[in-house]
Amino acid sequence: MVDNRRYHFSAGSLIWIFPGQVHQLVDRSPEAAYYVTVFRPDRIRDLHASGQYRGMLEAFSPTEGLLSLRPSSGQFQMLRQTMAELCAWGNGPGSAQPGGDFGLTPGFRFEHSDPAGLNAGLRHLGLCAWRITEENKQEEPVPPLHPAVLMALEHIRTSDPPRRLPELARCCGITAPTLSRLFRNEMGISLNRYRNSVMLTRFMEHMSRGRPTMLESVYAAGFGSYAQFHRVFREAYGKGPRETLNADLKNNT
CA separation for the pair 117, 194 (Å, rounded): 39
Say what the pLDDT of residue 45 is: 72
* Range with the poorest average pLDDT among 1-10, 78-87, 112-121, 137-146: 137-146
User: At a CB cut-off of 8 Å and minimum separation 6, what does 149 contact?
Assistant: 179, 182, 183, 186, 187
Question: Taking all residues of the chain, what is their mean pLDDT, rounded to a whole number?
Answer: 80
Residue-wise burial string across 159-184, b where 16 or more C-beta atoms lie within 10 A, e elsewhere: bebbbebeebbebbebebeebbebbb
For the stretch 150-187, pLDDT in tens is 999 999 989 988 899 999 999 999 999 999 999 999 88
User: At a CB cut-off of 8 Å and minimum separation 6, what does 160 contact?
Assistant: 222
User: At a CB cut-off of 8 Å and minimum separation 6, what does 96 contact?
Assistant: 251
Sign for the CA dihedral angle at 25, 42, 80, 89 comes to: negative
Q: Which stretch of DSSP H or E encloses residue 18? A: none
Local structure of 37: helix, strand or coil: coil
Distances (CA, A) of 26 to 5, 9, 156, 168: 11, 11, 13, 18
DSSP secondary structure string, 207-218? HTSSS--HHHHH
Cis before 93 (ω within 30): no
Say what the pLDDT of residue 101 is: 40
What is the pTM (predicted TM-score) of this model?
Answer: 0.66
Distances (CA, A) of 81 to 71, 89, 175, 197: 14, 12, 49, 30
Local structure of 83: helix, strand or coil: helix
Q: Beta-carbon neighbour count of residue 2 at 10 Å?
A: 20
Q: Beta-carbon neighbour count of residue 139 at 10 Å?
A: 6
CATH 1.10.10.60 boundaries in the chain:
147-251
For the stretch 66-114, pLDDT in tens is 788 889 999 999 999 998 888 777 654 443 333 334 455 555 566 777 8
- Asked if the model's pLDDT at residue 48 lies above 80, the reply is no
Higher-confidence residue of 238 and 223: namely: 223
Across the range 235-248, mean pLDDT stands at 77
CA separation for the pair 118, 112 (Å, rounded): 8
Say what the pLDDT of residue 55 is: 67
Say what the pLDDT of residue 6 is: 83
Superfamily holding 147-251:
Homeodomain-like (1.10.10.60)
- Asked if the model's pLDDT at residue 63 lies above 50, the reply is yes
